[in-house]
């Protein structure tokens, strides 16, 4: 098999292909152009999209040209969901998100050299096609019975699916043909849930251009219990630091299950086979050291947010549990840390609360009585400083960023309060 496909196979990044042997021969015949699409259905990409960006990077590293499509047109409609009809976002919002995602994707590929990447927006051609031309030139080549047989459509027939979402596949197929015509694109990649759209596009090109093109999809990543990867109790893990802080991002990867960490290293880390196999041995022999999780968290955070922000995230995690100085953290990092410990707002007037009141308000102890007992037993901390006086009060100097107090009981029970004056 082709070296690129061997690499993608070893990393667990191939779930299906239109014809893997034909694709291998095509890749061996010389540099090709491939594309992957991202619809602006939110203000940021998430770590599921990161898989596709890393596949595009691998394709480029093998000497081919990646084209990253941001769907200013398809984002106005939305690919059919399993659960129900999408909410259509206002045109101005979609336009804004399209611009934002176009900048995000640029970070992961190279725009120099003979195989320089290209970012395109399908609104540039979709918006120019008259309805009659679209129906005659595109719609004529799609069988309704075949469209109805698609998994997502079949599942939605009972609950209802609009013609808008039903017709999405025509737009994506048209994108593939447009990129074939403009840039000679002969490979489309995507996640496994895009298989129907990708094969429809390949068939459309075969019908209208009498050409053979290819499709390749990656597996949908899941947790050990089979649930969707990339979701936390607080929501989706975004790559925009304003939506998921570098601290929370780093923590997400640190919490990867032992049974999944090597799989995730193969997908998300640039490390080679020997290094990852060594980490697999570490997981087998000494899982409690969590060396693989730290490696994964550092590699992915460096990739998405850079080494400096990753080091700040590590510093914040150390400070949270008494191994660093909280006062040295900048306000944005503190905001992220306090958000993770589920900080409670505590209103007070001109007088700051007692430590007992703050401990109880934070939830690290169930009552003020328990707060007093924890202090007397030597297990209460304010901003990692042990409290020895049950009558002690919070001072202005205790307020981190002028508003936060971190409370801890013992080594691991942490909470916080935000003082509202």
Q: Does residue 402 have a pLDDT over 70?
A: yes
Query: How large is the average pLDDT for residues 298-325?
Result: 90
Q: How far is CA 75 from CA 87, 247, 334, in A?
A: 11, 30, 35
Q: How far is CA 317 from CA 8, 142, 143, 335, 339, in A?
A: 34, 54, 55, 13, 13
Q: How far is CA 312 from CA 122, 308, 330, 332, in A?
A: 38, 6, 9, 11
Instruction: Tell me if residue 36 falls in helix, strand or coil.
Output: strand
Q: Does residue 323 have a pLDDT over 80?
A: no
> Higher-confidence residue: 391 or 228?
391
> How many Cα atoms are found within 13 Å in the side-chain-facing hemisphere of 197?
27
The label of the residue with tokens 């068939």 reads 203
Check if the beta carbon of residue 362 is closer than 8 Å to that of residue 407. yes
Query: Residue 241: which pLDDT band, with cuts at 50, 70 and 90?
Result: very high
Q: Does residue 87 have a pLDDT over 80?
A: no
Q: Does residue 318 have a pLDDT over 90?
A: no
Q: Does residue 219 have a pLDDT over 70?
A: yes
Q: And the tokens for 88?
A: 């259509």
> Phi then psi for 389, rounded to 5 degrees?
-110, 115
pLDDT tens profile 118-162: 999 999 999 999 999 999 899 888 877 777 677 777 677 777 777
Q: Does residue 83 have a pLDDT over 70?
A: no
DSSP codes, 320-380: HTTSS-GGGS-HHHHHHHHHHTTPEEEE-SSSPPBHHHHHHHHTSSSSHHHHHHHHHTT-E
Q: Does residue 84 have a pLDDT over 70?
A: no
Say what the alpha-carbon torsion angle 149, 179, 6, 237 is, to the nearest 10 degrees. Answer: -70
**213-222, 227-236, 277-286, 357-366 — which is least confidently predicted?**
227-236
| pLDDT at residue 150 in the model | 73
The C-alpha atoms of residue 8 and residue 267 are separated, in whole angstroms, by: 9
Q: Which of 228, 218, 295, 302 is nearest to 11 (CA)?
A: 218
Contacts for 290 with CB less than 8 Å, ≥ 6 apart: 254
| pLDDT at residue 289 in the model | 93
The C-alpha atoms of residue 346 and residue 360 are separated, in whole angstroms, by: 11
172 annotated binding-site participant: yes
Q: And the tokens for 377?
A: 């037993």
Which residues partner with 382 through β-bridges?
385, 407
For Cα atoms 73, 78, 82, give the angle at the middle one, nearest 5 degrees. 165
pLDDT tens profile 27-58: 999 899 999 999 999 999 999 999 999 999 99
The C-alpha atoms of residue 158 and residue 135 are separated, in whole angstroms, by: 26
Beta strand 65-70 with 214-218: parallel, antiparallel or unpaired? unpaired
Query: How large is the average pLDDT for residues 305-333?
Result: 86
| pLDDT at residue 159 in the model | 73
Query: Residue 263: which pLDDT band, with cuts at 50, 70 and 90?
Result: very high
Q: Does residue 238 have a pLDDT over 80?
A: yes
- CB neighbour class for 324 (10 Å; exposed up to 12, middle 13-18, buried from 19): middle
What DSSP state is assigned to residue 242? T
Check if the beta carbon of residue 169 is closer than 8 Å to that of residue 197. yes
Contacts for 161 with CB less than 8 Å, ≥ 6 apart: 80, 85, 153
231 annotated binding-site participant: yes
Check if the beta carbon of residue 213 is closer than 8 Å to that of residue 23. no
Portion of the chain with pLDDT greater than 70, in percent: 97
Left (φ > 0), alpha (ψ -120 to 50) or beta: where does 342 sit? left
CA-based torsion, 341, 290, 332, 356: positive or negative: positive
pLDDT tens profile 266-304: 999 999 999 999 999 999 999 999 999 999 999 999 999
Going along the chain from its start, the domains and CATH numbers come out as 3-220 (3.40.50.620), 221-305 (1.10.240.10), 324-420 (3.10.290.10)
Instruction: Please provide the average confidence, as pLDDT, over all residues in the chain.
Output: 91
The C-alpha atoms of residue 348 and residue 350 are separated, in whole angstroms, by: 7
């Amino acid at each position: 098999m082709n070296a690129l496909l061997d690499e993608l196979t070893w990393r667990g990044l191939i779930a299906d292909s239109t014809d893997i042997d034909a694709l291998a021969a095509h890749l061996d015949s010389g540099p090709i152009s491939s594309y992957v699409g991202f619809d602006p259905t939110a203000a940021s990409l998430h770590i599921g999209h990161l898989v596709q960006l890393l596949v595009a990077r691998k394709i480029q590293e093998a000497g081919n040209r990646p084209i990253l499509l941001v769907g200013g047109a398809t984002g106005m409609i939305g690919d059919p969901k399993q659960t129900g009809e999408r909410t259509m976002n206002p045109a101005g919002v979609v336009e804004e998100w399209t611009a934002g995602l176009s900048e995000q994707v640029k970070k992961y590929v190279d725009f120099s050299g003979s195989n320089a990447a290209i970012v395109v927006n399908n609104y540039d051609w979709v918006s120019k096609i008259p309805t009659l031309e679209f129906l005659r030139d595109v719609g004529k080549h799609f069988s309704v019975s075949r469209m109805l047989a698609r998994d997502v459509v079949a599942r939605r027939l009972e609950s209802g699916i609009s013609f808008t979402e039903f017709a999405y596949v025509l737009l994506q197929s048209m994108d593939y043909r447009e990129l074939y015509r403009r840039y000679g694109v002969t490979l489309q990649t995507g996640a496994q849930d895009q298989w129907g759209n990708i094969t429809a596009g390949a068939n459309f090109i075969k019908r209208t251009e009498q050409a053979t093109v290819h499709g390749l999809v990656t597996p949908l990543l899941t947790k050990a219990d089979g649930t969707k990867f990339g979701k936390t109790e607080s929501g989706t893990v975004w790559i925009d630091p304003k939506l998921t802080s570098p601290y929370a991002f780093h923590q997400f990867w640190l919490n990867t299950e032992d049974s999944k960490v090597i799989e995730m290293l193969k997908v998300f880390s640039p490390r080679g086979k020997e290094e990852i196999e060594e980490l697999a041995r570490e997981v087998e022999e000494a899982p409690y050291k969590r060396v693989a999780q730290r490696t994964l968290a550092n590699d992915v955070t460096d990739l998405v947010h850079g080494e400096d922000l990753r080091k700040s995230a590590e510093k914040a995690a150390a400070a949270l549990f008494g191994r660093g100085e909280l006062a040295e953290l900048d306000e944005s990092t503190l905001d992220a840390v306090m958000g993770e410990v589920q900080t409670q707002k505590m209103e007070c007037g001109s007088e700051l609360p007692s430590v007992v009141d703050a401990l109880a308000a934070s939830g690290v102890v169930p009552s003020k009585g328990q707060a007093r007992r924890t202090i007397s037993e030597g297990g209460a901390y304010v901003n990692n400083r042990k409290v020895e006086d049950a009558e002690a009060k919070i001072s202005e100097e205790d307020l981190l960023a002028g508003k936060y107090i971190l409370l801890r009981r013992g080594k691991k029970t942490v909470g916080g309060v935000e003082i509202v004056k």
